[in-house]
Amino acid sequence: MNTFSHGGDLKSLAADARRSERDILDFSVNLRPEGMPEFIASALWRAMDDAVPYPSPDMKELRETAAARYDLPSGCFAFGNGANELIHALPRALGLKQAVIPEPAFSEYRLTCLRHGTKVLSPQIEERDSFTPSPCVLGEKAADGSAIFLANPCNPSGGLLHVQALRQAVQDRPGVIWILDESFMDYAEETESLLRDAAVLPNLVVLRSLTKFYGMAGVRCGFSVCAAPLAERLRQSLPAWNVNAFAAAAARAVLKQPSSWADGERALNRERREDLFRRLSALPGAAVLPSEANFLLFRLPGAPSGLASRLLKNHGIALRDCSNYPGLETGGWFRAGVRTPEEHARLEEALQTELKGNGPAILRRPPKPALMIQGTCSDAGKSVLTAALCRIFLQDGHRVAPFKAQNMALNSGVTALGEEMGRAQMVQARACRIDPDARMNPILLKPHSNTGSQVIVMGRAVGHMEAGEYFTAKRRFWPDVRRAYDSLADEYDVLCLEGAGSPGEINLKSVDVVNMNMARYARARVLLTGDIDRGGVYASFLGTWMTFSPWEKELLAGFVVNKFRGDPGLLAPAHRYMLDHTGKPVLGVIPMIRNINIPEEDRAALPFEQDGHAKHADSLDVAVVMPAHVSNFTDFAPLAAEPDVRLRQVRTREEWGSPDLVILPGTKSVAADLALLRAAGLEEPIRRHAGKGKWILGVCGGLQMLGTDILDPLHMESMEERTPGLGLLELSTTFAAAKTLLNVRQATTPLPPAAAGYEIHHGVTLHGETSAPIMFREDGSPCGYGKGRIWATYLHGFLDGDQFRRAFINMVREDSGLPPNPALHTSYDLDGALDRLADVVREHLDLKTIYRLLQLKR
């Protein structure tokens, strides 16, 4: 056995487990679970400018920064390539002949002494003392001219030395050099450091590591504090330029960081340590030692032989087997680093499985293959690309389901079970040829103002929240998200996830439930897509990548350029640049796709006046009055696909023109948007249009606007309890607390073909004698009202039906003096559109690599 082996060798652990490094849950090393904090990563990026010139040979500038931080003379500091370099330099600097190392202890103390030829005295510390040595006893064993190696908190136990006793022992034995390793001191809350003592006492050296607390083991930096003459000897024993520019930059960032950050990390580690302590203590016969560090030493007397190896091979979990520590060779001693509660639960279950002798049973079923589409921004094409991949996986013989943890969209729909969910996930479910299910979109936010949204969880409204309130509250919905995902993963072979906005939003990362945190939970590979049509796509890729923590970069599989016009061969230099600078390939260049008619997700981006359509000369002019908080605008996408319809948006009086049909679409803020409509001067042309006997169609919120008044006694949408409507229909709407969620499969209308759709509204509408019901649900209850050529309905999606849509268009055309087109049979064929979309994406995406990453067969 290698007496001086350490934990954290991921490559060796992965090889032994026959798994990839990303699939190893490593408790064998004591590092910050989240990895390097952002302020250090930023400092490393800035340090690129310092990579060419030589760094300071003795780190004078860094010593001055440390002196300012600790209010100590700069001459008392020495910096090394990690605290371990200083440990190995001390015997040389001191000319050390003899050392006392109480065991068990960090193995590098013994190793440096053996390499230097220093004689080692190793008193054994007992379990009854929690492996925490007595400084006074050690002082009695050490001869003058020798050194005593100690750690506080102790390693491997995590216990604390008695500081007053240590201080007294150092003073009582001036002929002994006391080397105090405080590498884990940043975690301790119930003790004090001896840094200030070390600056004045000639026989005390204190070591500090920046590796553990700050998650930068690969950068390597540590420092020592001791009396200036001794510090000078130590610096002289170190090679010049031993601390590189990157390590120096990271150290400066640490030393300049406000103490509040460390306070928060310390408190978080304490909570997590207590959780791990509780779980380990629940194991049969376990004895767990108290610790002030970020690890726990524990004994499992009945542990089967090779327990750590079995954990690694059967469960992909690395645990530190402490049998190579002198004094811990027998008794079943192990050490576990503090990680997250979810990871602690995995460790506990794995240990329970092995201790019960259940053989090589896998603790956690292998995760279902999962691919997540994230974007550099909103409207990068995530929803459509996710739908395409859903259809591709389905075509290739896989049972696939979509998933988006949190969606902010006004475009929603209703499932067969009466659950409300994002329209994009309903389309993606259609791509999978499965029924939409609220589990596919467990959190839906429907904005009703610039700062507030209605919150819908698992298909049901749970209230309204302002942005700040939801920011602090949304982590409490995280269990709902996990349950929804796990349930889908139990039923399907592949999960195709969609992110939201951008994973690079720094201000949202701490409470993220939809981007990288969701990808980590699902263990999904991530494709980052960007809209090249906007410009700056490669800068967006690189900028987003720069905000990623190491674990986020590990999840990223590659980049996808979306909405490209031109020759993709011209992009090759940019793709080489991305691979060289990030190590991640560009896995596809998706062309600008037109006229496929896939519903958009969450923005008013209907294909108004599409330049790809050949429109008839006598097209019906349809003006959609666009409210600020428009919802379910895709109700009118089928009209845009018709060759004899010209669909355009109107937001100002100047855009009004001479429409044949005016549409008032749905809105999440009826009163506010009606006020904006009036402020834009649009009420008068709407009334004039109605006065000419021309067609007006109102849908949902548009229905309510057309009425006489809108009552909101519960202030569901507005602080106004009554808002006068446009008065074109004799309808009065009152907002109720309960939301109506209905699927209407067959609605009767004044036209021969039946209509179908769904309803989502808080409004309860009563009609007067002059505005009779004209649309009826299956049970005979009204869902639409009308008077002459003014129709209003609560039914979303009623224009999707080809026969009804054509009948409606021809009716309006005839009334507008245009000839009907009965021979036109435009098919709003979503299923066919999804197949065409999949064909395009299949041609331009590196599916071979994606299938290999997901370990799927094609």
516 in helix, strand or coil?
A: helix
Name residues whose C-beta falls within 8 Å of residue 321's C-beta, 6 or more positions apart in sequence: 307, 308, 334
Buried b (16+ CB within 10 A) or exposed e, 622-650: bbbbbbbbbbbbbbbbbbbbbebbbbbbb
Which tokens sit at 584? Answer: 């991640």
In eight-state DSSP terms, residue 128 is G
Contact 666/631 with Cβ under 8 angstroms?
yes
Closest CA to 497 of 342, 369, 634, 365: 369
Give me the helix-helix angle, 259-281 and 341-355, nearest 10°: 20
Name residues whose C-beta falls within 8 Å of residue 631's C-beta, 6 or more positions apart in sequence: 410, 411, 412, 446, 665, 666, 667, 668, 700, 701
Q: Is the peptide bond before 102 cis (omega within 30 degrees of 0)?
A: no
**Rounded Cα–Cα distance for residues 713 and 615 (Å):** 47
**Rounded Cα–Cα distance for residues 365 and 314 (Å):** 11
**Rounded Cα–Cα distance for residues 650 and 65 (Å):** 61
Q: Is the peptide bond before 104 cis (omega within 30 degrees of 0)?
A: yes
- Residue entry with tokens 């919905």: 477
Residue 723: how many CA atoms within 13 Å on its side-chain side? 26
Distances (CA, A) of 151 to 87, 251, 293, 336: 12, 22, 11, 18
Contact 562/593 with Cβ under 8 angstroms?
no
Contact 609/648 with Cβ under 8 angstroms?
yes
Q: 759: left (phi > 0), else alpha (psi -120 to 50), else beta?
A: beta
Contact 132/104 with Cβ under 8 angstroms?
no
Is residue 322 annotated as a catalytic residue, yes or no? no
Q: What residue type is 79 in one-letter code?
A: F
**Rounded Cα–Cα distance for residues 495 and 488 (Å):** 8
The active-site residue out of 689, 700, 762, 844 is 700
Chain centroid, CA 412 distance in Å: 23
Chain centroid, CA 162 distance in Å: 43
**Rounded Cα–Cα distance for residues 218 and 44 (Å):** 12
Q: Is 366 exposed, middle or buried (0-12, 13-18, 19+ CB in 10 A)?
A: exposed
Q: What residue type is 542 in one-letter code?
A: L
The active-site residue out of 613, 767, 796, 844 is 796
Contact 322/1 with Cβ under 8 angstroms?
no
Angle, CA of 288, 290 and 292, to the nearest 5° = 135
Is residue 432 annotated as a catalytic residue, yes or no? no
Torsion of CA 518, 521, 524, 526, to 10 degrees: 40
- Residue entry with tokens 């049509």: 533
Closest CA to 449 of 667, 207, 722, 647: 667
**Rounded Cα–Cα distance for residues 29 and 294 (Å):** 10
Q: Is 195 exposed, middle or buried (0-12, 13-18, 19+ CB in 10 A)?
A: buried
Which tokens sit at 347? Answer: 């460790």
Helix, strand, coil shares, percent, the chain, to 5: 40, 20, 40
Catalytic residues: 700, 796
